Amino acid sequence: MPRISRDEVARIAALARITLRDEELSGLAGQIDGILDAVAVVQEAAGADVPAMSHPLEITNVTRPDVIVPSLTPEASLSGAPASEESRFRVPQILGEEA
């Protein structure tokens, strides 16, 4: 018995605003059934003793604690800028925006 019907494929296609011909609907229903069968096989392989994971290898994020250190003053950071205005870098106007 198919897991997804041709009518369900048609409904999903309508929700996604995809126009499909009748033969495409029938073909997709069969393909989606094949995908669902493959997923079911994978789900059977993972028992209750197998923890869920998002990646086959352990991934750890290398971080460091935030430490406040002295930084540049606005004047020092703008000292090499070709143009500045009101303690900010002045850049050329783009996309016709008004200044």
Residue-wise pLDDT tens digits, 38-91: 988 888 777 777 777 788 888 888 898 999 999 999 899 999 999 999 989 999
- Read off the DSSP letter of residue 50: S
From CA 97, how far away is CA 30, in angstroms rounded? 53
Is 51 a domain residue? no
Is 73 a domain residue? no
Is 22 a domain residue? yes
Contact between 13 and 20 under an 8 Å Cβ cutoff? The reply is yes
- Read off the DSSP letter of residue 91: -
Q: Is 85 helix (H, G, I), strand (E, B) or coil?
A: strand
Is 57 a domain residue? no
Q: How many domains would you assign to the chain?
A: 1
Residue 16's CATH number = 1.10.20
Q: Could you tell me which residues are beta bridge partners of residue 84?
A: 89
Domain extent, residue 21, equals 6-45
Is 53 a domain residue? no
Q: Give me the count of residues in the chain.
A: 99
Q: Full-prediction pTM beyond 0.75? A: no
Is 40 a domain residue? yes
